[in-house]
Amino acid sequence: MENKIKTIGVLTSGGDAPGMNAAIRAVVRTGAYYGVKVCGVMRGYNGLINGEIQDMSPRDVSEVLQRGGTCLMTARCKEFKTKEGVERACHIARVFGLDGLVVVGGDGSFRGAKDLSNAGVPTIAMPGTIDNDINCSEYTIGYDTCLNTVKDAVDKIRDTSASHERCTVIEVMGRNAGYIAVEAGIACGADVVLFPEKEYNFDEDVLRPILEAKSRGKKHAIVVVAEGIGGVVEMAKKIEEATGIESRATILGHIQRGGAPTVRDRLTASRMGAKCVELLLEGKANRIVCMQNGQIVDVDINEGLEMKKSIPQDMVDLIEKLTV
Ligand code: ADP
Ligand code: F6P
């Protein structure tokens, strides 16, 4: 493989996701495999602007594969959204001799990666977010771990909800996307699943299934609501008033971002991390490494950001079938 690239950087940006450490490890170790120096950039784009950059050896990423969070820390960086911020980051990248950069994050971080590439730092991005909302990729690192965390939490809530014969309305994360709500809702046997990609009517889509179940003798219910819909406290009150079933609301919150990554997240992060390094070594830049039909591929960052993705219709249909 041609090797004009001598030093590369890696950073994690935006909300953390389980598996980011596995991605960092893959970048560092793949770099070492090809004889490339790898530097860790701390705190996302902040670290690039402030020069918080350190050499990383394969040993520096021992024992991180199984850990949630990110050993490089992560942040949201307002300054980087300005022209001056990008120019400063480019200057620091040159000072540290970075010939290329790998960015692990969500679509906001990808827009930053694009700006960096256009300003002269060859950058490759890979999807690390629990939301699974990267349009060009059918999967994002952290999603599977998050789903399993939600599954564990909802199973526990179900125990108490059933014992008290209550309806529990549970809010899950996902920003503006409903992937977590839909797939966790199916996996947890929720009676109602609400997500932003599909409009809902409170009487028809919430009250009716709960009341129908009640008339069949079922006295408890689980309602999973994506944060993009929100309002779970008010919704629980309205359900209690209309059905007479005592109701509670639970917002799962940041527990969904933590924990040891699942095998799927470790594998995907490892495969994508290695691919990012190889693309840089091939002289590529401004690309997103993503998953399509189970394969790790790369797409142009502009095209990737413009692609559209929707909740698979079979999943939406499945919710209807299983909550009949
Ligand atoms: P995520 O990457 O998870 O979507 P954010 O949207 O918070 O998270 O973005 C992370 C960081 O990426 C921001 O703090 C900012 O530094 C950078 N970023 C976000 N949007 C843009 C943009 N439109 N242009 C340049 N940089 C951006
Ligand atoms: O993008 C990941 C995510 O956890 C979203 O699901 C959520 O909307 C957001 O980040 C929360 O961000 P913060 O950590 O700033 O509260």
**224, 205 contact by CB (below 8 A):** no
Catalytic residue among 131, 133, 144, 298: 131
My answer on whether 23 and 123 are in the same domain is yes
Q: Is residue 317 assigned to a domain?
A: no
Pick from 74, 144, 72, 67: which is nearest to 108 by CA? 74
Q: Is residue 294 assigned to a domain?
A: yes
pLDDT tens-digit readout, 268-302: 999 999 999 999 999 999 999 999 999 999 999 99
Q: Is residue 31 assigned to a domain?
A: yes
Q: Is 205 a catalytic residue?
A: no
Q: Which residues does ligand 1 sit against, CB inside 6 Å?
A: 13-15, 45, 76-77, 80-81, 105-109, 111-112, 115, 129
How far apart are alpha carbons 171 and 202 in whole angstroms?
16
Bridge partners (DSSP) listed for residue 289: 298
Tell me what pLDDT residue 72 has: 98
My answer on whether 84 and 22 are in the same domain is yes
Q: Average of pLDDT values for 234-240?
A: 98
CATH code for the domain in which residue 163 is found: 3.40.50.460
Q: What is the DSSP letter of 262?
A: P
My answer on whether 137 and 265 are in the same domain is yes
The ligand placed nearest to the CA atom of residue 130 is 2
How far apart are alpha carbons 245 and 34 in whole angstroms?
62
Tokens representing 189 are 């046997």
pLDDT tens-digit readout, 166-218: 999 999 999 999 999 999 999 999 999 999 999 999 999 999 999 999 999 99
Q: Is residue 324 assigned to a domain?
A: no
Handedness of CA 288, 292, 297, 302 (dihedral sign): negative
pLDDT tens-digit readout, 6-31: 999 999 999 999 999 999 999 999 99
Tell me what pLDDT residue 3 has: 64
CATH code for the domain in which residue 118 is found: 3.40.50.450
Instruction: Please give the radius of gyration of the chain, using alpha carbons only, rounded to the nearest integer.
Output: 22
Residue-number span of the structural domain to which 130 is assigned: 7-142+261-306
Mutate to test the pocket of ligand 2, among 77, 130, 132 (most ligand atoms within 8 A of CB): 130
My answer on whether 105 and 161 are in the same domain is no
pLDDT tens-digit readout, 38-61: 999 999 999 999 999 999 999 999
My answer on whether 18 and 137 are in the same domain is yes
Q: Average of pLDDT values for 143-152?
A: 98
pLDDT at 143 over 60: yes
Count of structural domains, the chain: 2
Q: How far is CA 237 from CA 196, 228, 234, in A?
A: 21, 19, 5
pLDDT at 1 over 70: no
- Read off φ and ψ for residue 42, nearest 5 degrees: -80, 150
The ligand placed nearest to the CA atom of residue 126 is 1
Q: Average of pLDDT values for 88-93?
A: 98
Tokens representing 31 are 């770099």
